[in-house]
């Protein structure tokens, strides 16, 4: 039972946490690239190209990290923070 | 620490591969078939067996049909079920917004597509408009509309290709999400596979089929994985990238107003109207615009044929015509010219792509493979098959490694996985070929002809799963399932039967198609026969050895330390 929970927890932390992180990354990197002077749609394209690699990277880390609590915190928290920052940027920037 | 990392990668490789390997097998196999989707269309809809032709006169041949395009019933049903508030108007009352006419160097047909503006409010508040879609098919030389085959299922582009990216699971797009997750798992499996086996160079040259089966299976898994590594990585990566806007709609969700503003700026700079004016407008000679486009391409040193003609805001004063080049000679697509519909004057020419846009176009083109290069096309087909072999041997290794242990412990794990692998490898091939056979032997005027082909596919696949389960008793006893050999023989018979059925129902036997050089159909027949021969050979070999354990000594478990 315990090992079943551990397996589900590990997969969920890496896959769902990774998804939240990739989602936040896409929003923040697009608006960040735009704020730094890239044309908006180019910043967006570049971010989408990188998104699969970013997701892959954090997924691998999610499986390699010692404790899933850290994975949840970094990926879930980081993704949410990036999404919130992007949301705020979209409202203040031009 | 390094050892811990390798162990965690092995854990990820084994379990992600086990859970999503089946999906990957389906995605890669049908992706491989989609390399020749147009050719399979010609085979499965014999009325369309003609030589590819250039885009005909828009004014004379295509324009009269534009008003005939109507939304397809499936598109109406989908919008009604998932997208709009309230009842949709009847299909013939929904106005045409944009249209396009498309052909390619591999297509003997002109498809005329319509995008219709639904008046209903969308359910999703962030969406501006809901659209429904329709199309019709025109013969490029006679200019006739091919009504009878429009509704007919084209196996290549309409069944195998969607299977590749959404598994025909439309319910809340769940198929797209499963395929996306499987794609991510494939990238993760490639990374972890490389971490687990650091002797990449040596594995490139290592295959020992005479070793005990556990070792030989792993050799083949590693060999195919290493040989196909660049292919596997690029195709999976570009596939995920193409769908990334769907999977990660973060910018649309969080910065909708920025997108709208930038869209408006871009349209203003190009001079292409984003919205219709709401007043009717005329359409000058599109043939004259097409001739102008060809002259401009030739003047730039890139002469070419027309791949598509699109009219945005059809019938409106703001309408414009876009003319795109058939990109036969490059990976990325582009080089589109835009003309004012009413006057035919050049409005805007797509500027040379900036580095990021050019990279994006190249990555898309690498996956869609619209270029004209038959050697490369076959190489991509071979890469796809090699990838399937890599995925399948991964499954076999899982079973091979555990079957004795599970049998001794009375655990059904290896038996279940073996059953699924039977369904995923010979079973999937049998279902595909059975569908092609049904396509030829069922009468085309049978009510529900398309539906019956799909039923044959799904029911045959289910039957192979049942057969695999029934025959898996030997795996439970630490042996090998007889289902593998039996299904190989079934596949050999079906493959040969499908090629013969093509001859019997259309008269296009290999002698004729090869003599006349009609390679779309000859190629499909040859692949069917080659597949049948390979299946027969595999069935024969499995019959010889399949149930025997060659007593070549027990395999020392420490020989594979990294597989958890």
* Mean pLDDT per 10-residue interval, chain B, length 564 residues: 79 90 96 96 93 91 94 92 92 94 90 94 86 92 88 93 95 94 96 81 70 85 91 96 96 92 91 92 96 93 90 96 86 80 93 87 90 93 96 90 85 89 96 98 92 97 96 81 94 97 96 94 97 95 62 40 39
Distance CA B364, CA B343 (A): 33
pLDDT score, position B550? 45
Distance CA B312, CA B319 (A): 5
Edge-first strand listing for the sheet containing B96-102: B130-138, B110-118, B96-102, B306-312, B320-325, B337-340, B346-349
Q: Which residue has the tokens 């390399």?
A: B35
Q: What is the DSSP letter of B446?
A: S
Q: Give this prediction's pTM.
A: 0.91
pLDDT score, position B554? 40
Distance CA B528, CA B496 (A): 7
Dig out the tokens for B39 from the structure: 């050719």
Distance CA B293, CA B319 (A): 18
Question: Which residue of chain B comes nearest to A39, CA vs CA?
Answer: B262
Distance CA B334, CA B350 (A): 8
- Across the interface, of A42, A51, A64, the residue whose CB is closest to B5 is A64
Instruction: Write the burial class of residue A66 (CB in 10 Å: 0-12 exposed, 13-18 middle, 19+ buried).
Output: exposed
pLDDT tens, residue by residue, B546-560: 544 444 444 433 333
State the complex-level ipTM: 0.94
* A41 contacts B266? CB cut-off 8 A: yes
pLDDT score, position B563? 41
- CA atoms lying within 13 Å on the CB side of residue B82: 11
CA B219 to chain centre: 29
* B360 contacts A60? CB cut-off 8 A: no
B483-506 vs B428-441: helix crossing angle, rounded to 10: 20
Distance CA B540, CA B205 (A): 27
CB-based contact (8 Å) between A41 and chain B?
yes
Question: Which residue of chain A comes nearest to B247, CA vs CA?
Answer: A23
Contact assessment for residue B52 and residue B105, using Cβ atoms and an 8 Å cutoff: yes
User: Could you tell me which residues are beta bridge partners of residue B24?
Assistant: none
Best of A7, A29, A63, A80 to substitute, by most chain B Cβ atoms within 10 angstroms, is A63
> Which residues of chain A lie closer than 8 angstroms to B8, CB-CB?
63-64
* B245 contacts A48? CB cut-off 8 A: yes
* A23 contacts B248? CB cut-off 8 A: yes
pLDDT score, position B549? 43
pLDDT tens, residue by residue, B264-321: 998 899 889 989 999 999 999 999 999 999 999 999 888 889 999 999 999 999 999 9
* A45 contacts B360? CB cut-off 8 A: yes
Contact assessment for residue B228 and residue B168, using Cβ atoms and an 8 Å cutoff: no
Q: How many Cβ atoms are within 10 Å of B102's Cβ, its own excluded?
A: 19
Best of B13, B264, B351, B356 to substitute, by most chain A Cβ atoms within 10 angstroms, is B356
* B254 contacts A86? CB cut-off 8 A: yes
* A60 contacts B191? CB cut-off 8 A: yes
- Across the interface, of A14, A49, A94, the residue whose CB is closest to B241 is A49
- Across the interface, of A48, A83, A90, the residue whose CB is closest to B258 is A90
* B12 contacts A60? CB cut-off 8 A: yes
Q: What is the DSSP letter of B309?
A: E
CA B541 to chain centre: 32
* Angstroms from A72 CA to nearest CA on chain B: 17
* B357 contacts A52? CB cut-off 8 A: no
């Amino acid at each position: 039972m315990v090992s079943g929970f551990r397996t589900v927890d590990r997969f969920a932390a890496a896959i769902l946490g990774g998804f939240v992180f990739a989602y936040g990354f896409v929003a923040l990197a697009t608006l960040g690239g735009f704020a730094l002077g890239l044309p908006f749609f180019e910043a967006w394209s570049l971010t989408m190209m990188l998104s699969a690699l970013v997701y892959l990277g954090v997924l691998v880390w999610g499986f390699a990290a010692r404790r899933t609590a850290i994975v949840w915190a970094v990926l879930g928290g980081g993704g949410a923070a990036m999404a919130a920052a992007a949301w705020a940027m979209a409202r203040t920037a031009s | 620490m390094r050892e811990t990392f390798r162990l965690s990668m092995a854990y990820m490789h084994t379990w992600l591969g086990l859970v999503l390997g089946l999906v990957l097998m389906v995605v890669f196999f049908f992706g491989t078939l989609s390399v020749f989707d147009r050719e399979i269309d010609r085979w499965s809809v014999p009325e369309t067996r003609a030589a590819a032709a250039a885009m005909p006169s828009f004014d004379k041949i295509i324009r009269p049909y534009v008003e005939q395009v109507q939304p397809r019933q499936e598109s109406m049903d989908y919008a009604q079920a998932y997208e709009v508030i309230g009842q949709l108007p009847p299909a013939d009352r929904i106005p045409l917004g944009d249209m396009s006419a498309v052909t390619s160097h591999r297509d003997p047909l002109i498809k005329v597509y319509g995008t219709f503006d639904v008046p209903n409010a969308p359910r999703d508040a962030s969406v501006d408009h809901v659209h429904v879609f329709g199309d019709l098919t025109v013969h490029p030389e006679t200019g006739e509309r091919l009504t009878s085959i429009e509704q007919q299922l084209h196996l290549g582009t309409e069944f195998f290709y969607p299977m590749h990216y959404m598994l025909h699971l439309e319910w809340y797009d769940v198929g797209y999400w499963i395929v996306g997750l499987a794609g991510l798992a494939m990238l993760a499996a490639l990374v972890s596979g490389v971490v687990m086996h650091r002797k990449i160079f040596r594995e490139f040259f290592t295959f020992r089929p005479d070793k005990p089966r556990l070792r030989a299976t792993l050799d083949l898994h590693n060999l195919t994985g290493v040989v196909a590594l660049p292919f596997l990585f690029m195709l999976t990566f570009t596939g995920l990238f193409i769908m990334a806007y769907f999977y990660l709609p973060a910018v649309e969700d969080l910065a909708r107003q920025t997108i709208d503003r930038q869209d408006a700026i871009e349209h203003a700079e190009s001079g292409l109207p984003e919205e219709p004016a709401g007043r009717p407008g005329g359409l000058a000679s599109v043939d004259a615009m097409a001739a102008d486009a060809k002259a401009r391409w030739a003047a730039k040193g890139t002469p070419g044929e027309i791949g598509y003609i699109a009219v945005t805001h059809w019938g409106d004063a703001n309408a414009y015509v876009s003319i795109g080049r058939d990109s036969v000679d490059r990976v990325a697509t582009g080089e589109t010219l835009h003309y004012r519909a009413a006057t035919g004057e050049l409005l805007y020419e797509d500027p040379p792509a900036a580095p990021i846009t050019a990279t994006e176009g190249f990555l898309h083109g690498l996956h869609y493979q619209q270029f004209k290069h038959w050697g490369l096309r076959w190489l991509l087909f071979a890469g796809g098959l090699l990838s399937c072999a890599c995925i399948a041997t991964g499954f076999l290794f899982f079973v091979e490694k555990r079957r004795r242990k599970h049998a001794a412990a009375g655990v059904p794990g290896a038996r279940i996985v073996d059953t699924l692998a039977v369904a995923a490898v010979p079973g999937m091939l049998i279902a595909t070929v059975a569908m092609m056979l049904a396509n030829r032997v069922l009468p085309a005027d049978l009510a529900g002809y398309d539906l019956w082909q799909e039923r044959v596919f799904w029911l045959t696949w289910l039957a192979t799963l049942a057969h695999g389960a029934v025959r898996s008793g030997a795996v439970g006893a630490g042996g090998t399932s007889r289902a593998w050999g039996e299904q190989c023989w079934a596949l050999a018979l079906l493959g040969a039967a499908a090629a013969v059925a093509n001859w019997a129902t259309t008269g296009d036997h290999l002698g004729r198609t090869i003599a006349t050089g009609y390679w779309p159909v000859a190629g499909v027949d040859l692949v069917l026969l080659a597949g049948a021969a390979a299946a027969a050979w595999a069935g024969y070999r499995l019959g010889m050895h399949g149930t025997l354990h060659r007593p070549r000594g027990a395999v020392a478990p420490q020989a594979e330390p990294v597989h958890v």
